[in-house]
Structure 1
Amino acid sequence: MAYTIEKNEKGYLVFTITRSEKRNAINYDIMEGLSKAISEAEGASDIKALVITGEGERAFCSGGDLSVFHSLYTKEEAYSMLSKMADILYSLTILSKPTIAVINGTAVGGGCELASACDFRLARKGIKAGFVQGMQAITTGWGGGSILAEKLPAEAAMKLLMEAEPQTAEFLYDIGFIHHLYHEEPLCACEQFLEKILRLDVNVLMAYKKIWINKWVESKLRVRIEEEVKTCAVLWESDAHHQYIQAFLNKK
């Protein structure tokens, strides 16, 4: 399996990407697993939070698996994949319960988009993370840019997107992208972070989350994500992007 979904007795669900040999890159199996975890967390009355992390210490998630997606050549082919993942990340964003990304290793590209869709982001000290899509001659294409614009001040979000390079966890903590830095075992750090949240009744947590969900719905976040997906799809079929992909595969 490319992922695991585990229910913790303390009242939270853990989704783990188990493709450490691929730096936990996202393929279609991971997409299916994320959808399943989101649905399970949404529907279970005894689940108070959803935690997303990666296997091992090297990577949280290295974004989309280019060895899988390199066959997507036209904007129509790219749009099909991008919109599928954007739907998943929007569902994650508006999940009625708190969500936590435990960034156990490097997070780049779509890995940062996945993390941005979570309410809270915890990172192991010393890791780096960045929205590197610009260096691939594309933009964020799963909705991560639009989501980031909701969660960070404009200048901080623009810097991350437009510089398109990995930043240290400490820098990301200072600008508010990371909410907690840890050095212990990832799920232990997560449990400590969640301890007070999990004391509350699930209906209270859902009521508070609804405040932000209402805001995102009213601000037409889903519409803006769709525009982001379309823009990325157009750039995806550009010669510059295909040259990047070929160089990446040749290096591999």
Structure 2
Amino acid sequence: MSYETILLEVDESIATVTINRPKKLNALNRETIQELHEVVSELEKDSKIKVIIITGSGEKAFVAGADISEFADFSVKKGKKLAAKGQGILFDFIENLSKPVIAAVNGFALGGGLELAMACHFRIASENAKMGLPEVSLGVIPGYGGTQRLPQLVGKGRAMEMIMTAGMITAEQANNYGLVNHVVPQEELLPLCSKIAHKITNNSSVAISYAIKAVNAGFMNTVNGYEQEIDAFGACFGTNDFSEGTTAFLEKRKAEFPGS
């Protein structure tokens, strides 16, 4: 399948998705959101793919925001539909994906760009990265999950300050806040993401999918995360990956997980 606004590269079991709108600093428009949904959907179905990395083209921006020209004249009804559709097909979709998704934040991650990074399971940033939610400077609020995920990641007070001031924070600040896991020079960003991704591929993809579901449940008001963990833990015992993992441990050899 070919795409107009994204690039896809597959190296063994790791897929790298690059948002490719450099002239727009990789801003998210409707086409890009739809194509991201499509490519991530296909990668989730592909049993050979174990980890997905999302990044932006060039060295200036991961995603510099949403394409404001597309919705500047929207009505209340259209605005609600825009947020609901975007959350449904991309941001919530990525957060709840059964395969790990790493955001390689290689520059500006603003507005919808930071919201996309936060929807990924964790984030690694280059030293030149800057992050923020500037929506209130445009008379609107973050609409792709930013008001919910940012407080979960950095705490309510810091999230309120970032949202209300519409300001940017540096990669170092983001690291101190717990918004990103690592900060490295630009040239080391994708190699580090790949190194971590390879570590992930050594483990049970089935167990990882259960872990993602259990962790996410702890942030849902309608779900008891502890009960979700108990159910997922028990379900692991019925998998071939569990049988292989425990057998390999007892036999003192490396596990070869079948992924089932």
What interval of TM-score do these two structures reach, taking the shorter chain for normalisation?
0.7 to 0.9
SS at match of 1:45: coil
- Letter in structure 2 aligned against 1:76: K
Task: Give the partner amino acid of 1:172.
Answer: A
Is 2:14 the counterpart of 1:5? no
Deviation of 1:153 after TM superposition, in Å, equals: 2.2
Select which of 173, 181, 204 maps to 1:201: 204
Provide the rounded CA distance (Å) in 2 between the counterparts of 1:182 and 1:40. Answer: 30
- What is the TM-score when the length of structure 1 is the normalising length? 0.81
Residue 84 of structure 1: aligned partner: 85
- Cα RMSD over matched residues? 1.7
CA contact (8 A) 2:106 2:128 kept: no
SS in 1 for 2:218: helix
Q: Are the equivalent residues in 2 in contact too, given 1:52–1:101 (CA < 8 A)?
A: yes
Please state how far the C-alpha of 1:219 moved relative to its aligned partner: 4.2
The one of 192, 195, 200 equivalent to 1:189 is 192
| Bigger RCO of structures 1 and 2 (CA < 8 A, at least 6 apart) | 1
Aligned residue runs from structure 1 range 24-63, under 5 A: 24-63=26-65
Deviation at 1:185, TM superposition (A): 4.3
* Partner Cα separation in structure 2 for residue 70 and residue 3 of structure 1: 24
Residues 151 and 158 in structure 2, CA contact (< 8 A), matched pair in contact too: no
List runs of 5+ in structure 1 lacking aligned partners: 221-252
Q: How far apart, CA to CA, are the structure 2 residues paired with 1:144 and 1:93? A: 13
Distance in 1 separating the partners of 2:30 and 2:131:
23
Separation (CA, whole Å) in 1 of partners of 2:161 and 2:11: 37
Q: 1:41 to 1:148 in 2, by over 3 A?
A: farther
Q: SS at 1:210's partner residue?
A: helix
1:45 and 1:202 in contact (8 A); partners too: no
Contact 2:26 2:63 in 1 (8 A): yes
Percent of residue pairs identical: 32
Tell me the distance in 2 between the aligned counterparts of 1:219 and 1:109.
27
Letter in 1 for 2:86: M
Aligned residues of 1:108 and 1:130 also touching (Cα < 8 A): yes
User: How far apart are residue 194 of structure 1 and its match?
Assistant: 2.4
Aligned to 2:120: 118
Q: CA deviation at 1:204?
A: 2.1
1:129–1:169: 8 Å Cα contact kept in structure 2? yes
Q: Which residue number corresponds to residue 257 of structure 2?
A: none
1:95-110 alignment to 2 at 5 Å? Answer: 95-110=97-112
- Partners of 1:113 and 1:145 within 8 A in 2: no
Residue type of the alignment partner of 2:102? I
* Paired amino acid for 1:80: K
| Kept in 2: contact 1:26–1:61 (CA 8 A) | yes
Query: Radius of gyration: which is bigger?
Result: 2
Question: CA–CA distance in 2 between the matches of 1:215 and 1:6?
Answer: 33
- Residue in 2 that maps onto 1:133: 135
Distance across 1 between alignment mates of 2:146 and 2:11: 28
Distance in 2 (CA, whole Å) between partners of 1:39 and 1:78 is: 25
TM-score (norm 2): 0.78
Which position in structure 1 is the counterpart of 2:233? none
Gaps of 5+ in 2: 224-260
